[in-house]
Amino acid sequence: MAEPGRSCPRHYRYSPPVFARPADIKAQSLYVVGGLYGNPFALETVLDLARREDAMLVFNGDFNWFDADPAGFRAINETVLQRAALRGNVETELAGEDAGAGCGCGYPEWVGDAEVERSNRILERLRETARGHTDLRARLGDLPMHLVAEVGGLRVGIVHGDAESLAGWQFSQEALREHPERARELLAGSGVDVFACTHTCLPVMQDFATPRGTALIVNNGAAGMPNFRDTHFGLATRIASTPSAQALYGVRLGAAVVEAVPVRYDYEAWMARFDRVWPAGSAAALSYRKRIASGPGYAVEQAVRTGAFSRAA
Ligand SMILES: [Fe+2]
């Protein structure tokens, strides 16, 4: 048995052909919002982005994480659950009582033991909060693990992890660099043009030549945390028939564009809220405060692996 936080529970798994089905949703313009991590200010921003262009929102999991305060937990979930949503490993583990799965992250070997152990502690505290909200807990457990969307003629597989697992890491920037052939196989086996995913903390947009033409994997990293060095904004994936003036980078695929759009939330307010819920020395402060304050050691140029346009600067 793998230790808690390292394992990928059996019920997390599905197979790539499951995506070869009629679309569950159709939209002109769609935002895929992964990794909100309980940031209510980022949630406000994505709601506003979508409202401005009458776009559809899909929250593809881990919208909970730092919202261990009861009022924050209820507010995030009541709002998100009014939209289309998938459960990530966090929501799945919050809905259940499987202490052996830890945070359900399925962390690979490049993530250290201390960080995995802290993630398990964050999940335990969050689950304690969730126990006071049995109605929300049940709704989280009922969410699907994947959706198929049709946008501008593109078939889009929306997942939390990868094409085989809710907590899979095959669409992480690390795995896409080391084993692109595996991702190409998964795209070909699923019959989608785009996989929109999150879960692995860092964003990436990478294209692939498949027998059906160019296909794309787009990982938004986190909507609720900074994704690049010395920045203060999250990222969401936007798929639409016309480009957004706000996109940081993106690519045209057939009649549609796939873009990374900054989620510019109230940074000061979020820092203050985070510090109140997770004070210095807490598991979340040790693992995430530095990233929330100034971003990870990762650059836009590392995320863009396409013939994409980029407004990165
Ligand atoms: Fe996740």
Give the distance (Å) from ligand 1 centre to CA of residue 169: 9
pLDDT value of residue 177: 96
Residues 6+ apart with CB under 8 A from 2: none
* CA–CA gap between residue 239 and residue 151 (Å, rounded): 7
Q: Tens-of-pLDDT digits for all 313 residues of the chain?
A: 467 888 778 899 999 999 999 999 999 999 999 999 999 999 999 999 999 999 999 999 999 999 999 999 999 999 999 999 999 999 999 999 887 888 888 888 888 999 999 999 999 999 999 999 999 999 999 999 999 999 999 999 999 999 999 999 999 999 999 999 999 999 999 999 999 999 999 999 999 998 888 999 999 999 999 999 999 999 999 999 999 999 999 999 999 999 999 999 999 999 999 999 999 999 999 999 999 999 999 999 999 999 755 544 3
State residue 21's pLDDT score.
Answer: 97
User: Which amino acid is located at 199 in the chain?
Assistant: H
- For residue 151, report the distance from its CA to the centre of ligand 1, in Å: 25
pLDDT score at 210: 87
Residues 6+ apart with CB under 8 A from 56: 25, 27, 29, 30, 31, 50, 84
Residue 92 CA to ligand 1 centre (angstroms) = 10
CB atoms within 10 A of CB 74: 16
pLDDT at residue 268, rounded to an integer: 98
Separation of CA 273 and ligand 1 centre (Å): 22
Amino acid at 71: A
pLDDT for position 247: 97
Please check whether residue 63 is in contact with residue 80, taking contact to mean a CB–CB distance below 8 angstroms. Answer: yes
**Span from the CA of 107 to the centroid of ligand 1 (angstroms):** 10
Q: Closest Cα partner for 32 from 272, 243, 246, 195?
A: 195
Expressed in angstroms and rounded, the spacing between residue 35 Cα and the centre of ligand 1 is 7
Quote the pLDDT of residue 1.
46
Give which of 197, 108, 99, 111 is closest to 149, Cα–Cα.
197
Residues 13, 169: Cα–Cα separation, whole Å: 12
Distance 255 CA to ligand 1 centre (A): 31
pLDDT score for 211? 84
**What are the tokens at 116?**
């995995």
List all residues 6 or more positions away from 149 whose beta carbon is below 8 Å from its beta carbon. Answer: 23, 24, 25, 26, 27, 30, 58, 155, 156, 158, 239
Whole-number Å distance, alpha carbon 195 to ligand 1 midpoint, is 16
Separation between Cα atoms, residue 30 and residue 257, nearest integer Å: 11
Distance 111 CA to ligand 1 centre (A): 14
Place of tokens 């109230």: 266
**Cα 212 to middle of ligand 1, angstroms:** 29
Looking at residue 164, what is its pLDDT? 97
Which residues are within 5 Å of ligand 1 (an ion), measured at CB? Answer: 62, 88-89, 199
Q: How far is the CA of 5 from the centre of ligand 1 (A)?
A: 11
Residue 311 CA to ligand 1 center (angstroms) comes to 28
**Phi, psi of 292, deg, nearest 5:** -65, -35
Pairwise CA distance, residues 260 & 311, whole Å: 10
CA of 246 to the centre of ligand 1 (A): 26
Distance 313 CA to ligand 1 centre (A): 28
Residue 160 CA to ligand 1 center (angstroms) comes to: 7
Residue 279's pLDDT is what?
Answer: 98
CA of 211 to the centre of ligand 1 (A): 30
